[in-house]
Structure 1
Amino acid sequence: MIFRPALAGLVLAIVLTTTAHAQAPSQSSDEAQVRTVVTAYRDAVARLDVSQTPDLFWQDSEVFESGGAEGTFARYLEHHLGPEFADLASFTFSEPQADVEIDGDIALVTETYRYRITFKDAARAPVERQGVATSVLRKRDGEWRFSVYHSSARPVRPAS
């Protein structure tokens, strides 16, 4: 049998790659559940249907938006988000990215995204923003929900 270094190198690379994939950390069940909650909220906003979103927030949650303390999510929904949606034709997210860090029964989530809002009144110009959100989710009785949600946005800056 003739030893071929190139073939040996290929076999070694395949073995190392297979081993690395087998040992790669998979997303934890908690992280998957947290991502599901975060995505469900973003998807509800995009559908302009926030009727089910109270189930994503603990009753003692706190919401902060663009420099304002909005109170609990129930208050935010009643006094801010709900009335705003009455004027919107669409709310589209693009380029969403989320980083999740789990520490026991607390999850820290940072998100970046772009969004575009159009209005039912076509005379109003669409709004395009670069947004960020920082959230704290808590796990209680095996269920993850938002405890603190903070978001802010600024106009999209042209590429330089």
Structure 2
Amino acid sequence: MKLSLLAIAAIVALPAAAQPSTSNDQTVETIAERNTPAATLAAYRAALETRDAEAMQSLFAESSLIFENGKAEGSFDDYLAHHLGPELHAIESFTFSDPTLEVEQHGEVAIAHETYGYAISLSDGRRIERLGVATSVLVQEDSDWKILRYHSSSRTPR
């Protein structure tokens, strides 16, 4: 499968919480158990870094909508099926750098915006580096915070 640089770059223009990458003893589940909007976004980043599609799905509301680099991608399940899922197999590793995260909570709704850098190593030897930004709306469902809306974009560093 041939992947465009833009498509791969768009994949990782995803949440990067303002904390270091998870260590080997921290799983996506233990991060999400902290039960805050920021922890949900951190768990999403951890799941993306480990290419754990099932963990990613658990962090999104059923009625989620994804917008990426100017395109409406549908629900997270749609996005995973037609875009992100197939491309995860071509990614050997990626890392986030210099993340920032601001969360504003209003009862059972939270709005977050993030900035970050990232580097991706692909199975064909290519390396992609980008700067990303994301805006998220999260809702509290029962006791869990879920991502309801997610909009991300990225560009080549200057």
TM-score, normalised to structure 1, is: 0.75
Matched, 1:38 2:6: no
- Provide the rounded CA distance (Å) in 1 between the counterparts of 2:146 and 2:94: 23
Matched, 1:75 2:78: yes
Question: What runs of 5+ residues in structure 1 fail to find an aligned partner?
Answer: 1-30
- Provide the rounded CA distance (Å) in 2 between the counterparts of 1:154 and 1:146: 23
**1:3-152 aligned within 5 A:** 33-122=36-125, 125-152=126-153
- Provide the rounded CA distance (Å) in 2 between the counterparts of 1:87 and 1:141: 36
- Provide the rounded CA distance (Å) in 2 between the counterparts of 1:43 and 1:35: 12
Determine helix, strand or coil for the equivalent of 1:118: strand
- Name the amino acid aligned to 1:138: V
Higher helix share: 1
Q: Give the CA deviation at 1:144.
A: 1.0
Larger RCO (alpha carbons 8 Å, 6+ apart) = 2
The CA RMSD measured in Å over matched residues stands at 1.3
- Provide the rounded CA distance (Å) in 1 between the counterparts of 2:89 and 2:131: 22
Q: Number of matched residues?
A: 125
- Provide the rounded CA distance (Å) in 2 between the counterparts of 1:65 and 1:78: 15
Taking structure 1 as reference, are residues 32 and 101 closer, same or farther at Cα in structure 2, changes over 3 Å only?
A: farther
Matched, 1:155 2:151: no
- Structure with greater Cα Rg: 1
Q: Is residue 48–residue 91 contact of structure 1 (8 Å, CA) maintained in 2?
A: no
Calculate percent identity across the aligned residue pairs. 45
TM-score, normalised to structure 2, is: 0.75
Determine helix, strand or coil for the equivalent of 1:52: helix
Q: Which moved more, 1:31-40 or 1:52-61?
A: 31-40
- Provide the rounded CA distance (Å) in 2 between the counterparts of 1:112 and 1:138: 21
Question: What runs of 5+ residues in structure 2 fail to find an aligned partner?
Answer: 1-33
